[in-house]
Amino acid sequence: MAVTAITRASAIPARHRVVARRRVAQGLVVGLLLLATLAAVALLVTILGYVIVKGLPAINLAFFTERPRPFGEVGGGIAPALLGTVILAAASGAIAIPVGIAAAIFVVEYRSGRFAAPVRFAAELIAGLPSIVIGVFVWAFLVRGLVGHFSAIAGAVALAVIMVPIVARTVEEVLRLVPNSLREAALALGAPRWRVILSIVLPTARAGVLTAAILALARSAGETAPLLLTALGNDFLSTDLLRPIGALPLQIYRYALSPYDDWHAKAWGASLVLVVVIGAVGVLVRVVARQRVR
């Protein structure tokens, strides 16, 4: 003991210096990390707070139930936009969710197939396309082409194109989590492969598939650019898929671009509604995802 104490004595000052330097470095790094985290959180809180403070005064029952009114009239709301967002979500979901799930099944369950890699590559390419480009494409294809005018169905198709790769890639991940032993068990029972997929793989992954669908819907609910070129917007309550239809982001865009303070307030109100809707969907995703673990 004594011997080691003596031989170590000369090393002590150096050790102190090293330890002190480590402490400073440690403090510096933690401090920087904390600062970055605070900045990120502060940004989020500021945006949310600003939207709430600015949006809340515009919110009342009539805001949800009334049509937009011409400038100068008191009142008016976002009912057509709300209805339109719901209809667009339903229509685009009806197109994109089955297609996305089918693509994911193809890639995961038939991976020995020669087309699996190109399919995944295509999905990634579409996911990388700017949404305005998708809007232009659908405008040319449906608005100028097949349908001939702005319509809800064109909006739904544009949103669906955005959703398909999201659904496909998320469902792909989820399907990969299904243990192969379950597929083997079902195949060994004499089940045809399509049965294994429909009756075993998809039900096992159903919470994840649901999560993927909701995530894609939430993402598309906030899209504005492609809708400008396709759904156009509508101040009247319309459920006709072949006519223009409103949507929350479109309504925000219209109200915000106007020169009127009253409409600006309504834009904030609509923004708040959109944020709350998407936030609620996010919570829903978490609840569903948690069930998968159980």
Partner 1 sequence: MSVTMRDISTREAPGETERQPHAATDPAPAAAPRAIALRTEKLSAFYGAAQAVGDVDLTFEVGAVTAIIGPSGCGKSTLLRCLNRMHETTPGASATGRVRLGDVDVYAPATDPVEVRSMVGMVFQKPNPFPMMSVYDNVAAGPRLRGSKMSRREMDDLVERNLRRAALWDEVKDKLHRSGAALSGGQQQRLCIARALATDPSVLLMDEPCSALDPIATYKIEELVRELSHEVTIVIVTHNMQQASRVSERTAFMLAADDGIGRLIEFGKTDDLFTLPRDPRTEAYITGRFG
Shortest spacing between CB 189 and partner 1, in angstroms: 4
Shortest spacing between CB 179 and partner 1, in angstroms: 7
Q: Check binding of 199 to partner 1 (CB under 8 A).
A: yes
Token representation of residue 289 = 């995802």
Shortest spacing between CB 210 and partner 1, in angstroms: 13
Q: Check binding of 270 to partner 1 (CB under 8 A).
A: no
Site for partner 1 in 11-40 (CB under 8 A): none
Three state DSSP letters for the chain: CHHHHHHHHCCHHHHHHHHHHHHHHHHHHHHHHHHHHHHHHHHHHHHHHHHHHHHHHHCCHHHHHCCCCCCCCCCCCCHHHHHHHHHHHHHHHHHHHHHHHHHHHHHHHCCCCCCHHHHHHHHHHHHHCCHHHHHHHHHHHHHHHHCCCCCHHHHHHHHHHHHHHHHHHHHHHHHHHCCHHHHHHHHHCCCCHHHHHHHHHHHHCHHHHHHHHHHHHHHHHCCCHHHHCCCECCCCCCCCCCCCECCHHHHHHHHHHCCCHHHHHHHHHHHHHHHHHHHHHHHHHHHHHHHHHC
Q: Check binding of 185 to partner 1 (CB under 8 A).
A: yes
129 vs 287, beta carbon nearer partner 1: 287
Compute how many residues bind partner 1; rule: CB under 8 A: 22
Shortest spacing between CB 93 and partner 1, in angstroms: 24
4 vs 112, beta carbon nearer partner 1: 112
158 vs 200, beta carbon nearer partner 1: 200
Instruction: Compute the radius of gyration of the chain from its Cα atoms.
Output: 27
Q: Check binding of 194 to partner 1 (CB under 8 A).
A: no
Token representation of residue 144 = 């100028």
Site for partner 1 in 211-250 (CB under 8 A): none
Q: Which of 2, 6, 14, 188 binds partner 1 (CB under 8 A)?
A: 188
Shortest spacing between CB 202 and partner 1, in angstroms: 10
Site for partner 1 in 86-115 (CB under 8 A): 111-112
Shortest spacing between CB 200 and partner 1, in angstroms: 6
140 vs 182, beta carbon nearer partner 1: 182
Q: Check binding of 195 to partner 1 (CB under 8 A).
A: yes
Token representation of residue 180 = 């192969």
Q: How far is residue 118's CA from residue 133's CA, in Å, rounded to a whole number?
A: 21
110 vs 137, beta carbon nearer partner 1: 110
168 vs 207, beta carbon nearer partner 1: 207
In which region does residue 248 sit, left (phi positive, over 0), alpha (psi from -120 to 50) or beta (all else)?
alpha
Q: Check binding of 128 to partner 1 (CB under 8 A).
A: no
Q: Which of 83, 95, 187, 284 binds partner 1 (CB under 8 A)?
A: 187
Pick the piece of the chain touching partner 1 (CB under 8 A) from 54-62, 75-83, 189-197, 243-251: 189-197
* Contact in structure between 268 and 58 (CB atoms under 8 Å): yes
Contact residues for partner 1, defined by CB under 8 A? 111-112, 179, 181-192, 195-196, 199-200, 203-204, 206
